[in-house]
Chain A
Amino acid sequence: MLAVMSLLVFAGVYAVGNPMDILVNPQSDQREMARAAAALGLDRPLLEQYFIFLRHAAAGDLGKSFAFNVPAIGLILERMPATLELATAAMLIAVILGIPLGLWAGLKPGSAAGKSIMAGSILGFSLPTFWVGLMLIMVFSVTLGWLPSAGRGPTANLLGIPVSFLSLEGWRHLILPAANLALFNLALVIRLARAGTREAMLQDYVRFARAKGLTETRIVGVHVLKNVLVPIVTVVGVEFGSVIAFAVVTESIFAWPGMGKLLIDSINVLDRPVIVGYLCIVVTLFVAINFVVDLAYSWLDPRVRLGETGS
């Protein structure tokens, strides 16, 4: 899979153009440009370039970034904690706010609160992230002056990984981009939770539970919630991957130094080693996340048992 993907990216970058034309020193002459292209191996045929890449990749070397002059993989891993932190914060916001709101809207679909929650979720679906990000900056940073508009707060090492959520200043920087990134998934979780709740409330087991005399809190909080969670976990898992991949927009607006921003910058200068490396890592992440989701799924839904599905 990685090989297919890397070949596609290779061909794609090749089709867009020669990175040399963008990275070239404008003061240099033709000989100097030819020498620079040869030094990066960009003067060779595409397939040859690709096989050289494969040979190095097999030894764990994805090449040096054209723009940064340091190994691409290190560059990406250096930026990864910032993106993961942002994506995790966004997913937490989506889940922690989304499930209760969705439950509420599902339990009381006709009430004013239920209706306004659903109206809000439509906005969350349809407003473009870019625009919402700018509005958040306008309102909370420029007009009210409560929160910083850009960048990541000071980082501290947690198990060797630089994180910014340990300090107040870090949270102040994190909250706006995380809210921005969470918006779409918040809307999604609300919808799923509401639909799940409405469906579950009509099921026999709820009626049995009521007949058994369980409190409404226990019925909703334990039995309904567990059933509602099954689709949410699946979707949240899949969405976590796309949140990481689509953090690009939010990272650009809030100047968040994550890998999405690195990808955009690298595409702009056709920095192929970084683009290929980024996609390899994201593909691997997607696979890993799907695996974890499958595990969680089987734990939540006893009907799904790994290894028995074939029978």
Chain B
Amino acid sequence: MRRLLRILVAGSILGALPSQGAELRIGLAADVTSMDPHFLNIAPNINIAWHVFDALTHVDEDARLIPGLAVSWRAVDATTWEFTLRRGVRFHDGAELTAEDVVFSIERTFQVPNGQFRTFTQRIVGKQIVDAHTLRLKTATPYAMVPYDLNSVFIVSRKAATRSGPEDFNSGRAMIGTGAFRFVRFARGDRVELARNDGYWGAKSAWEKVTFRIVPTDPARLAGLLSGELDAIEQVPTADLPRVRRDSRLNIAQKVSWRTIFFYLDQYRDRAPGLADKSGMPLQSNPFRDLRVRHALSKAINRQAIAERLMDGAALPASNLVSPPVFGHAPGLQPEPYDPEGAKRLLAEAGYPDGFAMTLAAPNNRYVNDEQIAQAVAQMFARVRIRARVEALPVNAYLPKGRKGEFAFAMFGWGSFSGDLALRALVATADPEKGFGAFNWSGYSNPRVDELLERAFASVDEKRREALARDAMRLAMRDCAVIPLHHQIATWAMRKPLAYAPRTDEFTFAHHFLAR
């Protein structure tokens, strides 16, 4: 009798676990455009690529670098990196992974028409295969980011991918990787189907079959989850968070994302667009060039209120350009406290006791609640006598205008897995030769920040590099080079008993879903 009971109990526990044929259906929020892992560097494509392929280096849930196909790497000298490959890793077609495949994958990033991944490999000037599992990569100048850059370079099979174009990847012929899942089918605009790779070198997935459904419309994605057609979804709309929390059938997973929302403000022109006095006369000088004005604007924003009410808690007030788990986040900085009186004082000191009028530009379909946030911030500015007119545009019109310098004060969002990379793109003095300041639309320039960044990129010692990156971050933030608003908090929702280990990089990995 007792034995029977034990069997029954065991049976019921087993019943709660995913069975052998378990299938997971996930709702993705953005369209996957191609299976080719060396074509566009956009999140939905990369998300799928991470299931079928691996890179030499991976990142963990906190966006920190961990071993992937390489078990270890070291700087042999200032311009040479040596990677030791994991032994016994097999591609889905059974062939063993060797350094040849790695070299082939690096070279392929240059061959894919309009491919965007050469950004991560263009500094590699020499490749030397020491043996089948050891590879040396040389750079022209000391460059610390090689292991980070290689996190973005997926390793494809040389045998399967030689002379293959995007169609070969979309059809599956060249979709031979070392990842946790084998490719089954890609129906553009609809779904991607995967099957478990039983020979995977890492922890095996609990799911025999995975289907990613592409459902960009927020209510439809949530409806799919509620009606049981989907087991899990990413990017739960913030307005629906309370409802999802109340639903006893659902679990929620949240994590601070690497995406930081901030305002950039024109600091390079004497007269910037959209700036006027209260009577509508264009301002003769650009107030944003005065640190006191930038500081005042930062003080005028009630970040806590935005995070709690507008974002339903799905945001963390920001003091940095990168979120707390990320490399190079300066821990000492605090989000600027809401202080309208202090802001008014600073504005008066700067010579604007009556404030001024400005245009606050924001996209209306890019970041979570972007337009509402802009409206809220404009009202907060009104309290310190600054009259801000919100100009909200769809992202396809917004970004080109931003690049052309048509905004003096505008919302922007950035995701990066290291602080020095974010600073390099957003606040470093624009210099095409060095690749600095490619998105520095503020026109902020501080030789001290530039120098710290250059030293950071040249130092192969991680500790030293992080200290330099933090110094540069503190300096730029003290200058209010940009005004950080918040870090988004990424949200996943799933049917019980599923659980997800949420990720700072916002990726939705089927193999990280567990049946609790």
A residues near B (Cβ < 8 Å) are: 16-18, 21-34, 36, 39-40, 64, 66-70, 75, 78-79, 134, 137-138, 141-142, 145, 148-152, 252-255, 257-258, 261-262, 265, 267-270
**Are A27 and B421 in touch, CB under 8 angstroms?**
yes
Closest 3 pairs between A and B when the two form their complex, measured CB to CB? A17-B400, A29-B435, A30-B432
Shortest distance between the CB of B59 and any CB in chain A (Å): 14
B residues near A (Cβ < 8 Å) are: 31, 33-34, 36, 39-41, 113-114, 116-120, 122, 152, 166-167, 170, 187-191, 213-217, 219-221, 223-224, 226-229, 365, 394-397, 399-403, 414-415, 421, 425, 430, 432-436, 438-439
Given A27-B41, A32-B119, A75-B188, 16 further pairs, Cβ under 8 A: A16-B397, A16-B400, A24-B116, A26-B415, A27-B120, A29-B432, A29-B438, A30-B435, A70-B166, A78-B188, A137-B223, A150-B224, A254-B220, A255-B214, A255-B215, A269-B396
Shortest distance between the CB of A146 and any CB in chain B (Å): 9
Cβ contacts under 8 Å, B214 to chain A: 255, 257
Shortest distance between the CB of B56 and any CB in chain A (Å): 17
Cβ contacts under 8 Å, B226 to chain A: 141-142
**Are A145 and B421 in touch, CB under 8 angstroms?**
no
**Are A142 and B223 in touch, CB under 8 angstroms?**
yes
> Within the complex, which residue of B36, B113, B120, B439 is in contact with A26, where a contact is CB–CB below 8 Å?
B439
- A26-B414, A69-B113 are known contacts. Are A17 and B397 too (CB-CB below 8 A)? yes
C-alpha spacing A69/B166, complex, angstroms:
7
C-alpha spacing A269/B421, complex, angstroms:
25
- A21-B400, A149-B229 are known contacts. Are A252 and B119 too (CB-CB below 8 A)? no
- A40-B114, A255-B214 are known contacts. Are A268 and B395 too (CB-CB below 8 A)? yes
Shortest distance between the CB of A233 and any CB in chain B (Å): 33
> Within the complex, which residue of B33, B122, B403, B433 is in contact with A68, where a contact is CB–CB below 8 Å?
B33
**Are B220 and A253 in touch, CB under 8 angstroms?**
yes
**Are A137 and B220 in touch, CB under 8 angstroms?**
yes
**Are B41 and A138 in touch, CB under 8 angstroms?**
no
- A21-B399, A27-B120 are known contacts. Are A69 and B36 too (CB-CB below 8 A)? yes
Cβ contacts under 8 Å, A265 to chain B: 31, 189, 216
Cβ contacts under 8 Å, B34 to chain A: 68-70
Which residue of A is nearest B213, CB measured? A151
- A253-B220, A255-B220 are known contacts. Are A70 and B167 too (CB-CB below 8 A)? yes
C-alpha spacing A141/B222, complex, angstroms:
11
Cβ contacts under 8 Å, A69 to chain B: 33-34, 36, 39-40, 113-114, 166
Interface core residue of B116, B122, B394 (most chain A CB under 10 Å)? B116
15 A-B pairs within 8 Å (CB atoms) are namely A16-B400, A17-B401, A21-B399, A22-B399, A27-B119, A27-B120, A36-B114, A39-B113, A68-B33, A75-B188, A79-B189, A145-B227, A148-B227, A255-B215, A265-B31
C-alpha spacing A28/B118, complex, angstroms:
9
Cβ contacts under 8 Å, A36 to chain B: 114, 116
C-alpha spacing A269/B223, complex, angstroms:
26
C-alpha spacing A215/B402, complex, angstroms:
73
C-alpha spacing A278/B189, complex, angstroms:
16
Cβ contacts under 8 Å, B400 to chain A: 16-18, 21-22
C-alpha spacing A252/B226, complex, angstroms:
18
Interface core residue of A18, A34, A258 (most chain B CB under 10 Å)? A18
C-alpha spacing A66/B114, complex, angstroms:
8
**Are A255 and B114 in touch, CB under 8 angstroms?**
no
Cβ contacts under 8 Å, B216 to chain A: 252, 255, 265
C-alpha spacing A69/B421, complex, angstroms:
28
- A22-B395, A29-B119 are known contacts. Are A252 and B114 too (CB-CB below 8 A)? no
C-alpha spacing A10/B485, complex, angstroms:
37
